[in-house]
């Protein structure tokens, strides 16, 4: 049987494109999950690995969906080869249990990890530069509501309005009000 595995590393990414590609490649059952790319906790992937039998094929769209670092990739691929399970990485092709197949897989895994490491390094360098040169730099997502909007909502709360009433009037969710009012 052919199994597919689709994973996105952020909640705003979509699985649909990967799932479509996996089905076009012949996946009869697709396991999917949304997790951060660096986490090792992938319950659906673990379920998939347990379900695979000899002569089954595991299909993923790209190497970085399969594993997040070279060591993990090599361990997983070796386990699958030992269990006589085929691996098809759509942008690389079928990885076979031959010395050449293992060499190619090892090289591509190392390059994938190198690329991830470079992205992390560039991101950290960019943030460090911004911290040094931009007095208004703030780490994380920009706030949706200005301090002025929050002060207005807080004044409404002080005047006796409920969180729900303030939400209807300002569009600021109850949870955001509760969280931000703590700092006012």
Is 9 tagged catalytic? yes
What is the distance between the alpha carbons of residues 130 and 124, in angstroms, rounded to a whole number? 10
Instruction: Report the predicted TM-score, pTM, of the whole model to 2 decimal places.
Output: 0.62
Count of structural domains within the chain: 2
Residue 134 lies in a domain: no
HSE (side-chain half, CA atoms, 13 Å) at 94: 9
Residues spanned by the domain of 171: 147-181
CA neighbor of 74 nearest in space, from 54, 103, 94: 103
CATH number of the domain within which 23 lies: 3.40.50.1390
Whole-number pLDDT of residue 183: 82
Write the pLDDT tens digit of every residue in 62-105: 888 878 778 888 889 999 999 999 999 998 889 888 888 888 88
Q: What would the two tokens of residue 146 be?
A: 């200005």
Please give the helix or strand (H or E) that residue 121 lies within, else none: helix 99-133
Whole-number pLDDT of residue 40: 62
Q: Which one of the listed residues 9, 109, 173, 183 is annotated catalytic?
A: 9
């Amino acid at each position: 049987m052919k199994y597919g595995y689709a994973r996105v590393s952020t909640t705003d990414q979509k699985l649909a494109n990967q799932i479509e590609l996996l089905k076009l490649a012949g996946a009869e059952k697709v396991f999917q999950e949304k997790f951060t790319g660096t986490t090792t906790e992938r319950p659906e992937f673990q379920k998939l690995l347990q379900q695979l039998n000899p002569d089954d094929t595991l299909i993923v769209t790209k190497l970085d969906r399969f594993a997040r670092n070279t060591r993990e990739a090599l361990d997983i691929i070796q386990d699958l080869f030992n269990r006589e399970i085929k691996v098809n990485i759509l942008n690389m092709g079928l990885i076979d249990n031959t010395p050449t197949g293992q060499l190619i897989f090892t090289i591509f895994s190392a390059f994938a990890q190198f690329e991830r490491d470079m992205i992390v390094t560039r991101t950290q360098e960019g943030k460090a530069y911004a911290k040094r040169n931009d007095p208004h730099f703030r780490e994380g997502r920009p706030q949706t509501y200005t301090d002025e909007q929050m002060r207005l909502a807080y004044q409404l709360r002080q005047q006796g309005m409920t969180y729900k009433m303030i939400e209807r009037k300002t569009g600021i969710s109850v949870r955001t009000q509760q969280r931000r009012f703590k700092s006012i």
